[in-house]
Every structure is written in structure tokens, then in C-alpha cells.
């Protein structure tokens, strides 16, 4: 209930009214789980913007994957991020080294969750796309039937870039690509995801 109220009273007005967001390819968004959304990471607003793309009826199924060392560093932030945003905390520096780190994500997907992942691992420069880490390929090797939907945001890095705390209203574009599917190879999947994200980035510049 708290998450639904936060979504309805804070997330929707902030993203859709104060900023404004135009979504291209909305039909590619999942209408149920399990599914994974991957997006570029330029701002603290990225997670809220992604949550705003889903209807109220699905929001309890949407869980951003976030770094435990940041979001669990104090009691208030831990409560806020887990109870209101619904994050699943993981140790980001260990995600490629231990299968146990992925266990909460595997369980969530088995429970038909929609996960939000930022494969760059950290926030980058506004409107850019950094190197994508292959932790998601490890996850898909365990959950191979899970579709992965790429999203590229343009504008969020200008609204609230890394290192800034003052929100600047700026119109945002979201480009949603077709679902990607596991084909049995981590290398093949990572190339496919890199190509899909680069394609969406190119579309936002046209």
C-alpha cells in the first residue's frame, strides 16, 4: 500500500507533470513478469522514470535492482528504498563472482517480478552510454526464458545529473526497444544488448 501511494502521489506527478516524458515503443513494455528492463543510467531519476512507465496495477511487481552499499547505508534510506521504491539490494562489485549474489534476483523472477537493471553499474555522463557489465548475462544463464527489454532515456541526465541535487525541469524522451532473448551464450547476448542500446541511443539523436 505504501509503495502504491508513493507511486501515485509522488512518482507520477514528478515524472509526468513536472518533467514530462514522451515514450516511443511503449508497446514493447512487459504487461506481466517475469521480465527485465535494462536502461542507461545518468541520473537519480532513472528509477522513478522507469517506474512511471508502468500502470498502477503492475507497480507492486516492479523491483529496481540497486547497490546495497549505497541504499542500505543508513536506516532511513534502507526503509525508503525497500518499502517505497521496492528495490532488491545486491552487492554490485560481487555480482559477477558469486551465484549466491544473484539468488534474490532469481527468486524474484521465479515469482514473476519485473526487474529494473542498469548494466553500466553506476551513473555516467548525461545522455551517454557507458560500458555494459555482463552480470545480466550471468542472471539469464540461470533464468533463460526471461525477456530483456532495453530502454534509453534522453534528458534525465540534464534534469538531475550525477553530483547535483537541484532538479531542473527538462523534457524527457524514453525509447523502448523490442525484447531480447537468451540464446545460450553470454558473449552473444552481451553483443545483442550492446547493439540494441546503441541503436536506441542513435534514434534519440535523429
* Mean pLDDT of the 5-15 span: 82
DSSP 108: H
Spatial separation of the C-alpha atoms in residues 133 and 42, rounded to whole Å: 16
Residue 195 — very low, low, confident or very high, per pLDDT cuts 50/70/90?
A: very high
∠ Cα 124 82 144 (to 5°): 70
Question: Which of 11-20, 66-75, 114-123 is modeled with the greatest confidence?
Answer: 114-123
Predicted confidence band at 34 (pLDDT cuts at 50, 70, 90)? very high
- pLDDT value of residue 166: 56
pLDDT digits (tens, 9 = 90+) for 149-182: 999 988 876 666 555 555 666 678 899 999 999 9
User: Residue 126 above 90 pLDDT?
Assistant: no
Give the phi and the psi of residue 87 in degrees, each rounded to 5.
-70, 155
Residue that has been written with the C-alpha cell 534509453 in this structure: 152
Is residue 35 within 8 Å of residue 52, measured between CB atoms?
Answer: no
Q: Tell me how far apart the alpha carbons of residues 109 and 54 are, in angstroms, rounded to a whole number.
A: 17
Model pLDDT, residue 12: 82
pLDDT at 59 over 80: yes
Say how many C-beta atoms besides its own lie within 10 A of residue 98's C-beta: 11
pLDDT at position 137, please? 93
Per-residue confidence (pLDDT) for residue 183, from 0 to 100 = 93
Is residue 30 predicted with pLDDT exceeding 90?
yes
Where do the domains of the chain lie, and which CATH numbers do they carry?
2-6+14-205 (3.40.1130.10)
Q: Answer yes or no: is pLDDT of 97 > 60.
A: no
Query: Which pLDDT does position 65 carry in this prediction?
Result: 92
Name the grid cell of 192: 545483442
Map residue 30 onto helix, strand or coil: coil
Please name the residues in contact with 29: beta carbons below 8 A apart, sequence gap of 6 or more: 37, 53, 54, 149, 176
Residues recorded for the chain: 206
In sequence order, what are the beta bridge partners of 75?
none
**Mean confidence (pLDDT) of the chain:** 85
**Between these two residues, 67 and 174, which has the higher pLDDT value?**
174
The H-assigned helical ranges of the chain are 2-6, 12, 46-51, 68-71, 75-79, 99-110, 135-142, 156-159, 186-205
The pLDDT > 70 percentage for the chain reads: 84
Amino acid at each position: 500500500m505504501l509503495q502504491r501511494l508513493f507511486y501515485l502521489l509522488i512518482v507520477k506527478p514528478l515524472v509526468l507533470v513536472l518533467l514530462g516524458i514522451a515514450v516511443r515503443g511503449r508497446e514493447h513494455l512487459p504487461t506481466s513478469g517475469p521480465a527485465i528492463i535494462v536502461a542507461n543510467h545518468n541520473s537519480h531519476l532513472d528509477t522513478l522514470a522507469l517506474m512511471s512507465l508502468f500502470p498502477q496495477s503492475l507497480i507492486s511487481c516492479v523491483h529496481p535492482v540497486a547497490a546495497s552499499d549505497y541504499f542500505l547505508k543508513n536506516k532511513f534510506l534502507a526503509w525508503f528504498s525497500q518499502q517505497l521504491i521496492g528495490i532488491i539490494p545486491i552487492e554490485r562489485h560481487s555480482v559477477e563472482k558469486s551465484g549466491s549474489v544473484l539468488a534474490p534476483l532469481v527468486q524474484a523472477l521465479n515469482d514473476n517480478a519485473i526487474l529494473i537493471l542498469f548494466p553500466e553499474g553506476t551513473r555516467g555522463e548525461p545522455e551517454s552510454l557507458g560500458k555494459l557489465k555482463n552480470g545480466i548475462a550471468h542472471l539469464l544463464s540461470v533464468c533463460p526464458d526471461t525477456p530483456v527489454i532495453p530502454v534509453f532515456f534522453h534528458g534525465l541526465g540534464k534534469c538531475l545529473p550525477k553530483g547535483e541535487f537541484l532538479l531542473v525541469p527538462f523534457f524527457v524522451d524514453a525509447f523502448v526497444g523490442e525484447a531480447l532473448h537468451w540464446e545460450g551464450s553470454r558473449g552473444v547476448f552481451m553483443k545483442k544488448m550492446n547493439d540494441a542500446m546503441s541503436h536506441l541511443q542513435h534514434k534519440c539523436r535523429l
